[in-house]
Chains A and B, each alone.
Chain A
């Protein structure tokens, strides 16, 4: 009903003095994603995340320091570098001094040293308010100096990156910063030291193509734009519209370029965890490896003693058990054996292969690298994990992780459970054979202890690329073979239905392989493993791994490699 026109007014709006009220500067801002006006203070207390839609606002460098570093721990470095104008670009120096005044920053990056839950680290953070955090000479110099100083003081480096790329106003001088910073990171890495880069919105251009993408571990915030060429440039060049989500963190993760996406609220905890995992190098001493290894196996005799009489099981029964849907998968072993497992993704080339789970974890307080073939439970996950059939990018992810383990002298623990390497056109296109060969090549000389446990199916070369190790053990009902019994029957007898018979002649059970010296130990299963009984059965596995690490963890590189060479040399 409309009364509006009928109601008599009691004031004359026309003669009112209009009071001037206004929202003071800095009280509110508009979220670009949901278009809501939000209180700056409220967003600040929410870690610069939009309280309305969860969008991540760009974080000022000082806020980032507050978010990540322990209170009051930040000691800033190199605040007084002189700005130059190498091309004599008009108004450049004036522009810089204006920005300095406006932002309270001396340049687009802050560097220094701080602590994360007590662990010291070199730390740098870009601020997009300063010429889109583009990299000119001073930025490149500050990054380089910070890395140099960290190398000298043997500190890890963490950079929070955002940037539009090279700073055009400085011309070729700016381009050279890409080379300088990359070289500094290389020298830091060659000194055996850690560098973690965290990519935030937006990270593009010459910064992406230099220090941003060179982290031992590369993390990103959700939804950040990360790329070399910006989306607008690409669209103009190719004359096409880019799909939604292109060049976003999630896209990069899927394409293998990120180790992980970390929510802002989890950032400090994650970084602390990663630093902890790199803070404890393993003690090594010179000793006779053969004697130690003999002692290890003597101890294992008790740990792995069979507590049940031999059953009249056929090889095929083992195959069925190894393939059973009830059987625990690698992820189930990982969950019980390790603490703080932090998955690291991607091969840095093409894709993150979901059939391989790799990452860092603590085994009874010891940092280790874990790399596992994962079939998953249930059809949906089976399909996602490609039934544990590894693609070339899966092997390349493993190679990347094991080389990193070598750099930090962290033992590598492999878990094998695959029907075989993936057979498909795409796999061949990307060099499946080369990928497996490269893994064998790298593992044969990897200067860190390598352990491999076959928990289910060990299918051929696809398994061997995860089992060129100092020792290879098998669960009692696991199998390991040149190919599947079906394939064997079909090739040799032209009849794949004779798989049961084939399994018998192939010598693929754990006990047979131990007899042949292909594997060192068989871990007994009191009852065939299931998800339910795994927590009870895992004790033996844990004890075995502990004894392995105690033994191999102290060997020198030479001893390790000699032993590994001889292990395969005699086969």
Chain B
């Protein structure tokens, strides 16, 4: 079993991981930037090492310094959390080479799944449904046009190394294609230094449905049901829930089977997530596989009763899964709202600063994952998410009511937040009816704020 774990991350996820370790008797090493000297994760861990100045590239993205911290403290494993180096194959590889257990899949698997084209080809050969599209890189607009005709409009042009909506354009008709292709390519070249593109069918009005899987090194792979993450703004998830209002037990079995198949095809070990797009007619397509713990993992934890981080640590230590597929029961309904330090009225502008007053809700079925406290200074350097509010109810209605109550009880002053905006989403009749897709925030004026781009 892992004895001492270095957490190569910050904020609430670092705290979340440290808590799992505290329960399991694993010693913890926090790493922190100069801006995070007073952070909760820094103080809660058994040991803490400063790894450099505030900018991520000099601290949380600096592999050398993180490795040095692991060596100095004698840690035997590294948990990368999410973001930062969590899906960096090179980091995983270096940990492996230095004899550190990387809590996640092997570097080869991260590398293969990080390349969209390779990932897609793997899924195609495993019989997992994928969005109709090109099976080889497209560099020239003429070739792209031919492929788009074959695939059928609308199509979306994406960068092979893309992410976060960069290097991505939709063409609704043939006339729009070359413009969309060239713009996306140019953007990809400047953002990722690589203009390799691929093209696929643009799925209209889909829901973002992802399946949590767990795979141990003994070859057991299970899924823990789905999360519906369709409430997104600019490709950033805001609200996640499990189960999805749009999925029948039958569809769940089919998609869960595909997710397990996908993980097996990739030779996956540890916790991972298979993202699907679900069309209105029940057809679903593999999008990508995330090779890390996700922000929204708590909703799965609440409906399954499992601790995903503990499972990760068990798997990384070579132990088998603590449950079998048959033992997994999805009970009730869980919703998570991401609380961000940002101002929805001012275009969701980040709002760092000192938290003057803080009151979080509690009570039956209410969970708060956070790294902030009263008097905490939210630094301007990192992601603006400061807390996750997660509720668990018997039914979706109960969960929504619980979340509205909890949001309404939360007090966080000194900085701007999206709490009121989240409250408005929860109050929207379409949301309450479970009637939404990934365009929801673009097609609904929540609290008078339009997200139409």
Of residues 87 through 104 on chain B, the ones whose CB sits less than 8 Å from some CB of chain A are 90, 94, 97-100
Complex-state Cα separation, A3 to B15, whole angstroms? 14
**Contacts A1-B376, A7-B44 given: A23-B67 contact, CB under 8 Å?**
yes
Q: How far is the CB of A73 from chain B (nearest CB, A)?
A: 29
**Chain A residue nearest to B70 in the complex (CB):** A21
Which of B22-30, B234-242, B344-352 participates in binding chain A?
B22-30
**Chain A residue nearest to B74 in the complex (CB):** A18
Q: How far is the CB of B11 from chain A (nearest CB, A)?
A: 16
The reply on B46 being an interface residue by CB < 8 A is yes
Complex-state Cα separation, A11 to B45, whole angstroms? 11
Contact of B3 among A3, A17, A27, A42 (CB under 8 A): A17
Which of A32-40, A152-160, A400-408 participates in binding chain B?
A32-40
Interface residues on B, range: 20 to 34
Of residues 356 through 383 on chain B, the ones whose CB sits less than 8 Å from some CB of chain A are 373, 375-376
B99 touches A21 (CB 8 A): yes
**Contacts A21-B71, A21-B99, A22-B99 given: A13-B46 contact, CB under 8 Å?**
yes
The reply on A308 being an interface residue by CB < 8 A is no
Q: A interface, by DSSP: helix, strand, loop or mixed?
A: loop
A19 touches B76 (CB 8 A): yes
The reply on A10 being an interface residue by CB < 8 A is yes
Q: How far is the CB of A122 from chain B (nearest CB, A)?
A: 37
The reply on A2 being an interface residue by CB < 8 A is yes
The reply on B64 being an interface residue by CB < 8 A is yes
A3 touches B74 (CB 8 A): no
**Chain A residue nearest to B100 in the complex (CB):** A21
The reply on B430 being an interface residue by CB < 8 A is no
**Chain B residue nearest to A38 in the complex (CB):** B64
Complex-state Cα separation, A414 to B332, whole angstroms? 88
Of residues 478 through 535 on chain A, the ones whose CB sits less than 8 Å from some CB of chain B are none
**Chain A residue nearest to B95 in the complex (CB):** A21
B27 touches A11 (CB 8 A): yes
Contact of A37 among B4, B64, B75, B97 (CB under 8 A): B64
Q: How far is the CB of A64 from chain B (nearest CB, A)?
A: 25
Complex-state Cα separation, A21 to B66, whole angstroms? 13
Complex-state Cα separation, A39 to B62, whole angstroms? 11
A-B contact count (CB 8 A): 70
Complex-state Cα separation, A571 to B36, whole angstroms? 84
Complex-state Cα separation, A21 to B63, whole angstroms? 15
CB-defined contacts of A21 to chain B, threshold 8 Å: 70-71, 74-76, 98-100
**Chain A residue nearest to B377 in the complex (CB):** A1
A19 touches B74 (CB 8 A): yes
Of residues 120 through 167 on chain A, the ones whose CB sits less than 8 Å from some CB of chain B are none
**Chain B residue nearest to A11 in the complex (CB):** B27
A1 touches B38 (CB 8 A): yes
Contact of A27 among B38, B68, B97, B375 (CB under 8 A): B97
Complex-state Cα separation, A18 to B44, whole angstroms? 21
A10 touches B3 (CB 8 A): no
The reply on B43 being an interface residue by CB < 8 A is yes
A24 touches B98 (CB 8 A): yes
A2 touches B43 (CB 8 A): yes
**Contacts A1-B376, A7-B44 given: A23-B71 contact, CB under 8 Å?**
yes
**Chain A residue nearest to B76 in the complex (CB):** A19
Can you offer 22 A-B residue contacts whose CB atoms are under 8 A?
A7-B43, A11-B25, A11-B26, A11-B46, A16-B4, A16-B27, A19-B3, A19-B76, A20-B74, A20-B99, A21-B70, A21-B71, A21-B98, A21-B99, A23-B71, A24-B97, A27-B94, A28-B64, A37-B65, A37-B68, A39-B90, A42-B90
- Residues on B facing A (Cβ under 8 Å): 3-4, 22-23, 25-27, 38, 40, 43-44, 46-47, 63-65, 67-68, 70-71, 74-76, 90, 94, 97-100, 373, 375-376
Kindly list the 6 A-B residue pairs having the minimum CB-CB distance in the complex, ordered from nearest: A19-B76, A37-B64, A18-B74, A10-B22, A21-B99, A4-B43
- Residues on A facing B (Cβ under 8 Å): 1-4, 7, 9-11, 13, 16-24, 27-28, 36-39, 42
